[in-house]
Amino acid sequence: MRVCKRCKSDKIISLSAKTSDCFACSYKDITYEGYVPNNIGLGEGGDYIEINYCLECGQIQEEFPIIEELIMEGLKEENCY
């Protein structure tokens, strides 16, 4: 059984959503549209967003911080503007 990294609750929900190429996000001065990018804490990229979070405290259950270089690598697709 998984427990929350922050509050140790066992109220962890796992979400998966298929976006195909309809994903959009903005980070600093970058706007991105296309497939879900890798390296931004939303799963492995591609068609799916995958998030685990705690229903007790709201903590996303990922490894943080995500370093700037990985974020920029994930967002440097041709679909950025």
Assess if residue 16 is contained within a domain. yes
Residue 35: predicted pLDDT: 92
User: Average pLDDT in the 53-69 region?
Assistant: 95
- Supply the range of the domain harboring residue 51: 12-75
SS (H, E, C) 12-81: EEEEEEECCCCEEEEECCEEEEECECCCCCCCCCECEEEEEEECCCCCECCCCCCCHHHHHHHHCCCCEC
Assess if residue 4 is contained within a domain. no
Assign 4 to helix, strand or coil.
Answer: coil
* Token pair of 8 as six digits: 């140790």
Residue 47: predicted pLDDT: 94
Lowest mean pLDDT among 9-18, 52-61, 67-76: 67-76
pLDDT band at 3 (very low <50, low <70, confident <90, very high): very high
Distance from chain centroid for Cα 37:
9
Token look-up 């911080």 returns 65
User: Average pLDDT in the 19-32 region?
Assistant: 92
Assess if residue 17 is contained within a domain. yes
Model confidence, pTM: 0.79
Token look-up 């998030």 returns 51
**Number of domains the chain contains:** 1
